[in-house]
Amino acid sequence: MFKNDFLELLKKVGSGSHTSKPLTRSEAKLATKLMLLQEATPAQIGAFMIAHRIKRPTAMELAGMLDAYDEFSPQLNQNNFSFEYPITILGNPYDGRSRTAPVTPITALLLATAGIPVIMHGGDYMPTKYGLPLVEIWQGLGVDFSSLSLENIQDLLKKIRIGFIYTKKLFPIGNSLIPYREQIGKRPPFATLELIWNPISDNKAFQYTGFVHPPTETLFREVLKLRNVNYYTTIKGLEGSCDLSLSRTAIIGIGKPDGFERLLVNPIHYGLGKSDPSLESKSKLIENLQDVIQGKNGELMNSAIFNGGFYLWRCGICDNLEKGLTTAEVMLTQGKVSETLDHLSNLTRNLAGKSI
């Protein structure tokens, strides 16, 4: 029965450019549910992904797919926390970075040090890009999220204000769809979905999501509106991440209950504009990140200050960007971020030992 249900949905999206039709929200939820539970056959799942890729997903379809994620994915209950600030979600591409050096972990550490709770999510090396994933960068910094339970993550969030949903462990049925990405040779709609997935049990978290192409940002705005997400920020970031570039003006969108605001930020105006550091190797990146965390003026310092300052401002710690940049630099050079990393590393080791 389920296979026949899925077959009808597949026919609807895969019948060709002239006769295919978008799924309703409830149909998209059902299709995603049948794929997550492997009720659809492997051939049907692959066909759906490539057909949907060719057709291009609608906002209504992505909203329905996220509805299914809400039902089957791990969810942190915000009622268990009593933070002064909303939880910030940093949505980055799961297939990682391959050209530019990421500073997302430093941004997260800066925010946590300032009292802003931060959640990230992702998995291992992933097709089709196979870029360096965040979980391995954290491991290089001495923080291993890979063996932690959802309760462990909640504990980290309470104590250190940083958490990471490692999907291979905490969302295995979602992770089971990853091989199809390699087999179809293209990013399926799930790759878009991951950028705006909210692993918090309500809509009170503040979402940041990276994008590359302007139509993707428009799609995000429509999906988040359908999902009743009132506060979010879109960033035309490095390789689709939440990292702002030093080599060009940052294009940022700010979603609020009363509308949408466009913000342009040029790093040159703050004495930080230059080329973006390249990603030479994982070992070199870890070394450079450690230098910045230790307060050394390494090649990633400007990127860390620009990104950290922006997020400290947008998350409400600082009144303006200039103050955010100054605060980020002080926190790095005075060792405050290094202390946070040490606490996080020690606590994750202790929690990992208890989980065994």
Which of the four pLDDT bands, split at 50, 70 and 90, describes residue 352? confident
Give the class (CATH, top level) of 2-72.
Answer: mainly alpha
3-class SS of residue 248: coil
How many angstroms separate the CA atoms of 119 and 207, rounded?
10
Q: Is the pLDDT of residue 155 over 60?
A: yes
How is 285-325 classified by DSSP, letter by letter? Answer: HHHHHHHHHTT---TTHHHHHHHHHHHHHHTTSSSSHHHHH
The DSSP bridge partners found for residue 254 are 233, 261
| β strands within 143-249, DSSP E | 162-166, 206-210, 232-235
Mean pLDDT of all residues in 24-42: 96
Cα 324 → chain centroid: 22
| Segment 49-58, tens digit of pLDDT | 999 888 899 9
| Segment 271-315, tens digit of pLDDT | 998 899 999 999 999 999 999 999 999 899 999 999 999 999 999
Six-digit token string for 121: 């999510």
pTM: 0.95
Q: Which CATH architecture has domain 81-339?
A: 3-Layer(aba) Sandwich (3.40)
Closest to 134 (Cα-Cα) out of 31, 49, 3, 239 = 239
The DSSP bridge partners found for residue 278 are 100
How many angstroms separate the CA atoms of 79 and 62, rounded?
26
Six-digit token string for 253: 């969108």
Q: Where in the chain is the domain with CATH 3.40.1030.10?
A: 81-339
Least confident residue range of 31-40, 69-78, 147-156: 69-78
Cα-Cα end-to-end distance for the chain:
40
Q: Is the pLDDT of residue 355 over 70?
A: no
How is 107-157 classified by DSSP, letter by letter? Answer: HHHHHHHTT--EEEEE-SS-TTT-PBPHHHHHHHTT---TT--HHHHHHHH
Q: Is the pLDDT of residue 110 over 60?
A: yes
How many angstroms separate the CA atoms of 267 and 272, rounded?
5
Cα 236 → chain centroid: 13
Which of the four pLDDT bands, split at 50, 70 and 90, describes residue 123? very high
| Segment 193-209, tens digit of pLDDT | 999 999 997 777 999 99
Q: Where in the chain is the domain with CATH 1.20.970.10?
A: 2-72
Residues with Cβ within 8 Å of 197's Cβ and at least 6 positions away in sequence, in order, are: 66, 69, 73, 91, 121
Cα angle 56-57-61, degrees, rounded to a multiple of 5: 165
What is Dmax (Cα atoms) for the chain? 63
